[in-house]
């Protein structure tokens, strides 16, 4: 589930950077949030899936 959200956010981020600066910034923040969640789960030793 987390990987699905991460991939969707990554795709939206790339599309946002291509189409609109404002939306790209928002998607960039969401992507950074997703990366922070993944790193937190890895550091805590939980499974990612």
* pLDDT of 46: 67
Domain containing 27: what range? 2-44
Whether 18 maps to a domain, the answer reads yes
Alpha-carbon distance 49 to 44, whole Å?
14
- Count of the separate structural domains present in the chain: 1
Flag whether pLDDT at 48 surpasses 70: no
Between 46 and 35, residue with greater pLDDT: 35
- Structural contact between residues 48 and 5, judged by C-beta atoms closer than 8 angstroms: no
Q: Is residue 38 part of a domain?
A: yes
Please tell me the predicted confidence (pLDDT) of residue 39: 85
Confidence of residue 31 (pLDDT cuts 50, 70, 90): confident
Cα 22 to Cα 34: distance, rounded to the nearest angstrom:
19
Retrieve residue 33's tokens.
């949030």
Residue 49: inside a domain: no
């Amino acid at each position: 589930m987390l990987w699905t959200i991460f991939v969707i956010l990554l795709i939206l981020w790339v599309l946002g950077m291509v189409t609109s600066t404002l939306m790209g910034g928002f998607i960039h923040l969401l992507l950074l949030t997703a990366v922070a969640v993944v790193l937190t789960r890895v550091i805590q030793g939980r499974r990612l899936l």
